[in-house]
Amino acid sequence: MYPILFKIGSFSFYSYGFFSALAIVVCVLFLKKECVKNALDFEKIFSCFFWAVLGGIIGGRLLFVIINFEEYIKEPLRILSYREGGMAFQGALIGGILAGYLACWIKKEPFLKICDIVAPYLALGHAIGRIGCFMNGCCYGKIVKNGIGVILQGEAYPRVPIQLYYSIGLVIIFFILKKLLDSPKKFNGFIFLMYIIFYSFFRFFMEFFRADNSLVFFGMTLAQVISIGTFFIGLILFVFLSRKKVYGRV
């Protein structure tokens, strides 16, 4: 793997940080385009997006540290080291939603409408970020004896390139959500909840091929437990909002 993507003089560009930054830039560019299309104030929306990203970074890092608590308790200062990787996307999603909702509430912006616009590009940005995981050598898959595999630095046996499979799946989710975004919408929150449901289902099954997560509950990883929770929360909210739409309350 290539945790250091390239160097300029003595300054190193780390793969994980580079692709994470690229994902954010791509999301911002598409968000600006969608704001123009939907007659939304980009500066206000970007402000909400900024706080959502900040909340996502904090939430993602916090969940990752919790998952790997025994490792970080030995070296607490490593918690602040972002360049080596170490983000749990589900924590980032939860942190981003909470921070984004608070920012939208303060600025009196339509939270669910913004979530619908952001959802496809959240999937696309996540796909780009997973390439950073692959280059960094984190979030690795199980050892394979037959089939396609990649050999991590310092290892002798190939592993499932799960990070790339994540990217492919997320790109497919992006195209589905983008198609929905460009079609008549059933209710505010429709596309975002479809993203939550799709991703939770996808993540649950992809976890069976990962080797970096320990089992915590009835043979499932923490990510699978969270995926079950977010899947049903998304489903319940979907039914609730669709019923409100039918009765004219959305």
CB-facing half-sphere around the CA of 24: CA atoms within 13 A: 15
CB 59 within 8 A of CB 95: yes
**SS3 at position 155:** coil
For residues 116 and 178, what is the distance between their CA atoms, to the nearest angstrom?
Answer: 10
DSSP class per residue in 23-56: HHHHHHHHHHHHHHHTT--HHHHHHHHHHHHHHH
Nearest to 93 by CA among 125, 121, 120, 57: 57
Q: Where are the alpha helices (DSSP H) in the chain?
A: 15-37, 42-67, 69-74, 89-107, 111-136, 162-181, 190-206, 222-246
Q: Is position 130 annotated in a ligand binding site?
A: yes
Which residues contribute to the annotated binding site? 130
